[in-house]
């Protein structure tokens, strides 16, 4: 399944580093550009004030000399205005001399001469006795200074300096920092890509090793350990695998012990039936031996006694063999097994309690069932456990039904009884260890739990349904071997 690049360490680190660079460069750019803009504005203001105040001296002297008749006006003020406009260093866009009432005495535009300025900026300029800085618009710096000596005022010199060159320079700085930021991000991505071979590649190798390690596998050979955090992670992973392997072995030992314990408990329950199966043939053998000792039998009679003795011994041998096989230490050893033979073997072990409780066994098993790959002894324990539960639930007789069929490459077995059933509130707990509905001293509470474990280890499932007073049905599904 493909991983979203932004969810990988590589993607997260690259994204985080890019965001960090953008934040840092944005902050640095904002501070630098604000500082540069402030310095340039201060420089323009300083030069503008110096220019206005120096020209104001010349204009004031000219107006004073004209007033006392030392010189004739003769367009000197216009020359001063023209000189201001022609300055290339400050980009002066307008220059004017206003009288105390706001009338333009001189202007860079001849059409404006004689006009009276009553706007807010003009009012502030002609009423202030100091140099005034104003911003009529975002792109214009207006500087004005009075033309006066002491308390005598002849007018106001006012110029407008364009800030467009400053704004263009600031815009250039902004784009320059954008390019620098993009460059740093590209460099950072390239560095992260190079570092991924050092950091991400070992993690990917460790991840692949973890994915390829199957449950129950021995821990792989630890490569030369790295002397860093990844090496620590590798060591931790291998220690975890060892602990898991040890836990699985301990779990397997515990399950085997519990399985054997439950099997021994079941053997105890079978003792009465086994004793009956052995005692009856022994009685027959003793009777035959008694007649042989008396003598006087015909050859035909002697042959009949010998045959009875042979049959009795075979019956005892079969009973003991079945019991020993059932009690064998449980290890999962699969082999091709006939389902009918397992059922018959399990029923033969329980023949006595079945007959004692007057239970009718009804089998609906096809003779055409395919072989199944199971451990015949453990599967026999499954059926013995279930049959025993059914027999104990039908103390006053009943019907034990056994059915088997195939569906979708699975063998489906059903075992039902007509016993007393199980309470509805107890059904969710029937497969819990040490849970029993048989009462104290009559059950270990491990039978169905171990039965479930055996079935699941064979890749199958087991389900139990019951109605109190009507009986219980157990369904087991096992996979058929692939052809």
> Residue range 102-110: average pLDDT?
89
Within this chain, do residues 318 and 345 fall inside the same structural domain, yes or no?
no
Within this chain, do residues 354 and 375 fall inside the same structural domain, yes or no?
yes
pLDDT in tens, 307-361: 767 767 876 776 666 555 555 545 667 888 888 888 888 888 788 788 888 899 9
Separation between Cα atoms, residue 483 and residue 480, nearest integer Å = 9
Strands 359-365 vs 398-407: parallel, antiparallel or unpaired: parallel
Closest CA to 81 of 62, 101, 102, 100: 62
Q: 297 by DSSP, 3-state: which?
A: coil
CB 42 within 8 A of CB 56: no
Angle at 163 between CA 79 and CA 55, to 5 degrees: 25
Within this chain, do residues 319 and 378 fall inside the same structural domain, yes or no?
no
Separation between Cα atoms, residue 377 and residue 334, nearest integer Å = 10
pLDDT in tens, 208-222: 777 776 665 665 665
The encoded tokens of residue 288 equal 């035959």
Separation between Cα atoms, residue 18 and residue 12, nearest integer Å = 10
Sign of CA dihedral 199, 205, 206, 210: positive
Could you tell me if residue 181 is inside a domain?
no
Within this chain, do residues 277 and 376 fall inside the same structural domain, yes or no?
no
Q: How many CB atoms lie within 10 A of CB 400?
A: 25
Separation between Cα atoms, residue 176 and residue 375, nearest integer Å = 78
Separation between Cα atoms, residue 85 and residue 110, nearest integer Å = 13
Torsion, CA 454, CA 381, CA 364, CA 399, rounded to 10? -120
Within this chain, do residues 349 and 479 fall inside the same structural domain, yes or no?
yes
> Which among 311, 331, 351 is the end of a domain?
331
What is the 8-class DSSP label of residue 348? H
Domain region containing 387: 335-483
List all residues 6 or more positions away from 246 whose beta carbon is below 8 Å from its beta carbon. none
Separation between Cα atoms, residue 263 and residue 257, nearest integer Å = 10
Task: List Cα–Cα distances, 171 to 26, 50, 182, 309, 452, in angstroms.
Answer: 14, 27, 17, 117, 77
> Which among 170, 185, 200 is the end of a domain?
170
Could you tell me if residue 316 is inside a domain?
yes
**β-sheet bridge partners, residue 155:** 147
Q: 385 by DSSP, 3-state: which?
A: helix
Separation between Cα atoms, residue 444 and residue 457, nearest integer Å = 22
Could you tell me if residue 189 is inside a domain?
no
Within this chain, do residues 296 and 349 fall inside the same structural domain, yes or no?
no
Of the two residues 223 and 183, the one the predictor is more confident about is 183
289-298, 320-329, 335-344, 465-474: which has the minimum mean pLDDT? 320-329
Within this chain, do residues 339 and 483 fall inside the same structural domain, yes or no?
yes
Could you tell me if residue 470 is inside a domain?
yes
pLDDT of 399 = 92
- Side-chain-side CA neighbours of 70 within 13 Å: the count stands at 6
Within this chain, do residues 285 and 400 fall inside the same structural domain, yes or no?
no
74 φψ region: left (φ > 0), alpha (ψ -120 to 50), beta (else)? left
> Which among 315, 331, 347 is the end of a domain?
331
Please state the domain count of the chain.
3
DSSP for 171-192, written as a single string: HHHHHHHHHHHHHHHHHHHHHH
Reported as type and span, the H/E element at residue 302 is: helix 299-326
Banded model confidence at residue 450, pLDDT cuts 50, 70, 90: confident
pLDDT of 40 = 87
Separation between Cα atoms, residue 442 and residue 310, nearest integer Å = 37
> Residue range 295-299: average pLDDT?
76
Separation between Cα atoms, residue 24 and residue 181, nearest integer Å = 9
Closest CA to 229 of 192, 191, 200: 200
Within this chain, do residues 50 and 127 fall inside the same structural domain, yes or no?
yes
Within this chain, do residues 244 and 160 fall inside the same structural domain, yes or no?
no
Of the two residues 385 and 445, the one the predictor is more confident about is 385
pLDDT in tens, 22-74: 788 788 888 888 888 888 889 888 998 998 988 888 888 888 888 787 766 65
Could you tell me if residue 185 is inside a domain?
no
Within this chain, do residues 248 and 275 fall inside the same structural domain, yes or no?
yes
The CATH number linked to 392 is: 3.30.565.10
The CATH number linked to 148 is: 3.30.450.20
pTM of the entire structure?
Answer: 0.43
The encoded tokens of residue 440 equal 């104290």
Q: 133 by DSSP, 3-state: which?
A: strand
Torsion, CA 194, CA 198, CA 200, CA 203, rounded to 10? 170
Could you tell me if residue 243 is inside a domain?
yes
Within this chain, do residues 220 and 145 fall inside the same structural domain, yes or no?
no
Separation between Cα atoms, residue 113 and residue 93, nearest integer Å = 16
């Amino acid at each position: 399944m493909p991983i979203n690049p932004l969810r990988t360490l590589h993607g997260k680190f690259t994204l985080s580093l890019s965001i960090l660079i953008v934040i840092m460069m944005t902050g640095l750019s904002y501070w630098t550009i604000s500082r540069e803009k402030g310095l340039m504005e201060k420089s323009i203001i300083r030069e503008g004030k110096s220019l206005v105040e120096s020209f104001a001296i010349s204009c004031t002297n000219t107006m004073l000399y004209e007033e006392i008749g030392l010189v004739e006006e003769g367009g000197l003020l216009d020359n001063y205005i023209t000189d201001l406009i022609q300055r290339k260093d400050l980009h002066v866009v307008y220059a004017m001399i206003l009288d105390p009432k706001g009338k333009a005495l001189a202007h860079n535009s001849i059409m404006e001469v004689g006009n009276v300025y009553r706007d807010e900026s003009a009012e502030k300029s002609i009423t202030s006795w100091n140099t005034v800085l104003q911003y009529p618009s975002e792109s214009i710096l207006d500087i004005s200074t009075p033309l006066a000596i002491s308390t005598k005022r002849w007018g106001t010199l006012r110029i407008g300096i364009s800030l467009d060159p400053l704004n263009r320079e600031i815009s250039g700085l902004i784009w320059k920092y954008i390019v620098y930021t993009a460059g740093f991000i590209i460099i950072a991505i390239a560095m992260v890509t190079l570092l991924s071979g050092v950091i991400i590649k070992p993690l990917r190798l460790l991840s692949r090793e973890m994915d390829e390690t199957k449950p129950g596998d021995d821990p792989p050979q630890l490569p030369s350990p790295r002397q860093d955090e990844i090496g620590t992670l590798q060591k931790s992973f291998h220690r975890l695998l060892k602990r898991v392997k040890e836990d699985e072995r301990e779990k397997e030992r515990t399950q085997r012990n519990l399985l054997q314990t439950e099997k021994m408990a079941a053997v105890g329950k079978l003792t009465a039936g086994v004793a009956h199966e052995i005692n009856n043939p022994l009685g027959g053998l003793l009777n035959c031996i008694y007649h042989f000792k008396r003598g006087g039998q015909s050859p035909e009679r002697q042959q009949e006694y010998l045959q009875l003795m042979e049959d009795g011994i075979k019956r005892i041998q079969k009973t003991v063999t079945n019991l020993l096989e059932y009690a064998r230490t449980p290890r999962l050893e699969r082999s091709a097994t006939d389902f009918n033979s397992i059922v018959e073997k399990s029923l033969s072990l329980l023949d006595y309690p079945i007959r004692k409780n007057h239970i009718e066994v009804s089998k609906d098993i096809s003779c055409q069932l395919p072989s199944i790959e199971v451990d015949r002894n453990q599967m026999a324990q499954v059926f013995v456990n279930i049959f025993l539960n059914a027999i104990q639930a039908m103390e006053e007789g009943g019907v034990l039904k056994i059915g088997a069929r195939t569906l979708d490459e699975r063998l489906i077995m059903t075992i039902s009884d007509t016993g007393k059933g199980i309470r509805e509130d107890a059904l969710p707990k029937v497969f819990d260890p040490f849970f029993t509905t048989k009462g104290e001293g009559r059950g270990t509470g491990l039978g169905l739990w171990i039965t479930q474990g055996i079935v699941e280890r064979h890749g199958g499932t087991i389900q139990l349904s019951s109605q109190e007073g009507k009986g219980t049905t157990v369904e087991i599904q096992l996979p058929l071997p692939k052809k």
